Amino acid sequence: MADAQQPYWDAMEAFTEAVTARQYDRALTELKKGLRATAKAVHAMKSDFGIPPSIPFIESKAGAMAALFDDDETYRLMSEVSALPDLKEHGEDETPKYRRDGEIIAAIRQHVAAHTTTSMTALRGLVQPDETRGLTRLAQWMEKHGEISMLKAGKDWTITKR
Protein backbone atom coordinates (compact mmCIF):
# COMPACT_ATOMS: atom_id res chain seq x y z
CA MET A 1 0.00 0.00 0.00
CA ALA A 2 3.01 2.32 0.32
CA ASP A 3 2.80 3.10 -3.41
CA ALA A 4 -0.67 4.61 -2.90
CA GLN A 5 0.79 6.90 -0.25
CA GLN A 6 3.86 8.08 -2.17
CA PRO A 7 2.22 10.92 -4.18
CA TYR A 8 0.79 12.25 -0.90
CA TRP A 9 4.17 12.22 0.85
CA ASP A 10 5.94 13.69 -2.20
CA ALA A 11 3.45 16.55 -2.35
CA MET A 12 3.71 17.05 1.42
CA GLU A 13 7.49 17.38 1.20
CA ALA A 14 7.30 19.73 -1.80
CA PHE A 15 4.57 21.82 -0.13
CA THR A 16 6.61 22.18 3.06
CA GLU A 17 9.74 23.12 1.12
CA ALA A 18 7.84 25.72 -0.92
CA VAL A 19 6.26 27.32 2.16
CA THR A 20 9.64 27.41 3.92
CA ALA A 21 11.20 29.05 0.86
CA ARG A 22 8.24 31.48 0.65
CA GLN A 23 7.50 30.25 -2.87
CA TYR A 24 3.77 30.43 -2.35
CA ASP A 25 2.76 29.96 -5.99
CA ARG A 26 4.60 26.63 -5.94
CA ALA A 27 3.15 25.81 -2.51
CA LEU A 28 -0.37 26.24 -3.89
CA THR A 29 0.42 23.87 -6.78
CA GLU A 30 1.81 21.27 -4.38
CA LEU A 31 -1.16 21.72 -2.07
CA LYS A 32 -3.52 20.85 -4.91
CA LYS A 33 -1.42 17.79 -5.81
CA GLY A 34 -1.50 16.70 -2.20
CA LEU A 35 -5.23 17.20 -1.86
CA ARG A 36 -5.82 15.11 -4.99
CA ALA A 37 -3.65 12.32 -3.54
CA THR A 38 -5.11 12.41 -0.04
CA ALA A 39 -8.11 10.07 -0.48
CA LYS A 40 -6.00 7.15 -1.78
CA ALA A 41 -3.28 7.85 0.78
CA VAL A 42 -5.69 7.95 3.72
CA HIS A 43 -7.29 4.69 2.57
CA ALA A 44 -3.84 3.08 2.35
CA MET A 45 -2.77 4.52 5.72
CA LYS A 46 -5.93 3.19 7.33
CA SER A 47 -5.15 -0.29 5.98
CA ASP A 48 -1.48 -0.13 7.01
CA PHE A 49 -1.53 1.52 10.42
CA GLY A 50 -4.73 3.47 11.01
CA ILE A 51 -5.89 6.99 10.29
CA PRO A 52 -3.17 9.60 10.93
CA PRO A 53 -3.83 12.09 13.73
CA SER A 54 -3.72 15.02 11.33
CA ILE A 55 -3.98 15.78 7.63
CA PRO A 56 -1.84 18.88 7.03
CA PHE A 57 -3.39 19.51 3.61
CA ILE A 58 -6.63 20.62 5.30
CA GLU A 59 -5.06 22.52 8.21
CA SER A 60 -3.71 26.01 8.92
CA LYS A 61 -0.75 26.50 6.52
CA ALA A 62 -2.73 24.91 3.72
CA GLY A 63 -5.69 27.12 4.62
CA ALA A 64 -3.43 30.16 4.53
CA MET A 65 -2.24 29.26 1.01
CA ALA A 66 -5.82 28.79 -0.19
CA ALA A 67 -6.81 32.12 1.37
CA LEU A 68 -3.76 33.99 0.08
CA PHE A 69 -4.73 33.09 -3.47
CA ASP A 70 -8.49 32.88 -2.76
CA ASP A 71 -8.44 29.79 -4.95
CA ASP A 72 -11.84 28.16 -5.52
CA GLU A 73 -10.37 24.90 -6.81
CA THR A 74 -8.30 24.50 -3.65
CA TYR A 75 -11.31 25.26 -1.45
CA ARG A 76 -13.32 22.62 -3.33
CA LEU A 77 -10.56 20.03 -2.95
CA MET A 78 -10.21 20.81 0.76
CA SER A 79 -13.95 20.32 1.28
CA GLU A 80 -13.85 17.03 -0.60
CA VAL A 81 -10.99 15.76 1.58
CA SER A 82 -12.68 16.97 4.76
CA ALA A 83 -15.81 15.03 3.74
CA LEU A 84 -13.97 11.70 3.39
CA PRO A 85 -15.69 9.16 5.65
CA ASP A 86 -12.33 8.09 7.11
CA LEU A 87 -11.65 11.67 8.24
CA LYS A 88 -14.92 12.41 10.02
CA GLU A 89 -13.13 12.10 13.37
CA HIS A 90 -10.91 15.07 12.43
CA GLY A 91 -13.78 17.45 13.04
CA GLU A 92 -15.76 19.68 10.78
CA ASP A 93 -14.71 21.13 7.45
CA GLU A 94 -12.76 24.35 8.03
CA THR A 95 -12.89 25.38 4.38
CA PRO A 96 -15.56 28.06 5.01
CA LYS A 97 -13.17 29.67 7.52
CA TYR A 98 -10.35 29.66 4.94
CA ARG A 99 -12.71 31.06 2.32
CA ARG A 100 -13.59 33.91 4.73
CA ASP A 101 -9.86 34.48 5.29
CA GLY A 102 -9.55 34.87 1.49
CA GLU A 103 -12.29 37.51 1.55
CA ILE A 104 -10.51 39.36 4.36
CA ILE A 105 -7.21 39.27 2.46
CA ALA A 106 -8.99 40.73 -0.58
CA ALA A 107 -10.40 43.53 1.62
CA ILE A 108 -6.92 44.21 3.04
CA ARG A 109 -5.53 44.40 -0.52
CA GLN A 110 -8.20 46.92 -1.52
CA HIS A 111 -7.65 49.02 1.60
CA VAL A 112 -3.87 49.05 1.23
CA ALA A 113 -4.15 49.96 -2.47
CA ALA A 114 -6.32 52.96 -1.55
CA HIS A 115 -4.02 54.28 1.22
CA THR A 116 -0.32 55.08 1.13
CA THR A 117 0.07 54.00 4.74
CA THR A 118 -2.44 52.40 7.05
CA SER A 119 -2.52 50.65 10.39
CA MET A 120 -3.73 47.40 11.87
CA THR A 121 -6.29 49.47 13.79
CA ALA A 122 -7.69 50.77 10.50
CA LEU A 123 -7.79 47.23 9.08
CA ARG A 124 -9.83 46.07 12.06
CA GLY A 125 -12.68 48.16 10.68
CA LEU A 126 -12.80 45.83 7.67
CA VAL A 127 -13.80 42.74 9.67
CA GLN A 128 -16.35 41.58 12.20
CA PRO A 129 -15.33 41.96 15.87
CA ASP A 130 -14.81 38.19 16.25
CA GLU A 131 -12.41 38.17 13.27
CA THR A 132 -9.89 40.72 14.54
CA ARG A 133 -7.65 38.12 16.22
CA GLY A 134 -6.86 36.47 12.88
CA LEU A 135 -6.22 39.75 11.10
CA THR A 136 -2.57 40.02 12.14
CA ARG A 137 -1.94 36.41 11.05
CA LEU A 138 -3.40 37.12 7.60
CA ALA A 139 -1.43 40.36 7.25
CA GLN A 140 1.74 38.49 8.20
CA TRP A 141 1.12 35.94 5.44
CA MET A 142 0.70 38.86 3.02
CA GLU A 143 3.97 40.32 4.26
CA LYS A 144 5.77 36.98 3.77
CA HIS A 145 4.27 36.89 0.26
CA GLY A 146 5.84 40.30 -0.43
CA GLU A 147 2.60 42.24 -0.80
CA ILE A 148 2.88 44.53 2.22
CA SER A 149 5.38 45.70 4.81
CA MET A 150 4.53 45.75 8.50
CA LEU A 151 6.39 47.83 11.05
CA LYS A 152 5.60 47.77 14.77
CA ALA A 153 4.50 51.24 15.91
CA GLY A 154 3.89 51.20 19.66
CA LYS A 155 0.92 48.94 20.27
CA ASP A 156 -0.13 49.06 16.61
CA TRP A 157 1.36 48.16 13.23
CA THR A 158 2.06 50.53 10.33
CA ILE A 159 1.27 48.83 7.04
CA THR A 160 2.40 49.89 3.57
CA LYS A 161 2.09 48.31 0.14
CA ARG A 162 5.34 46.99 -1.31
Mean pLDDT on 26-51: 85
The torsion region of residue 86 among left (phi > 0), alpha (psi -120 to 50) and beta comes to: alpha
Q: What is the pTM of this model?
A: 0.87
pLDDT for position 85? 81
123 has pLDDT over 90 = yes
Q: What is the mean pLDDT of the chain?
A: 89
151 has pLDDT over 70 = yes
